[in-house]
Amino acid sequence: MHTAIDERALSKLRWRCRRGLLELDIILQRFMDRHYAELDEQGLAQFERLLALPDNDLWELISKRQVTADENMQQVLTLLQKS
């Protein structure tokens, strides 16, 4: 588990989860509510990398229309797909 994140940083992260696709907004907010606090350092890095993707690319991965060759993102991607 990671160290406690301050409220301002958490608020900024939640803002970054607001996307142009409503489906992504819903899934990312559910993920934040259910799984974010349990992520280790590797999971946090994976989540950051996924958030850096364009909306359509991220949606394609979450909806399993596309697969990633990057195994380093799979842990968090699997949690997102369940959200």
Whole-model pTM? Answer: 0.77
Q: Mark residue 64 as left, alpha or beta (left: phi above 0; alpha: psi -120 to 50; beta: remaining).
A: left
Between helix 74-82 and helix 41-51 the angle, nearest 10°, is 70
Q: What is the C-alpha separation between 67 and 70, in angstroms, rounded?
A: 9
As averages over each run of 10 residues, the pLDDT of the chain (83 residues) reads: 64 79 89 88 89 91 83 85 83
Query: How much is the pLDDT for 62?
Result: 92
Query: How much is the pLDDT for 1?
Result: 43
Contact 80, 27 (CB under 8 A): yes
Query: How much is the pLDDT for 54?
Result: 93
Dihedral sign of CA atoms 48, 32, 13, 41 in order: negative
Rounding to the nearest 10 degrees, give the CA dihedral for residues 61, 27, 72, 36.
180
Query: How much is the pLDDT for 9?
Result: 78
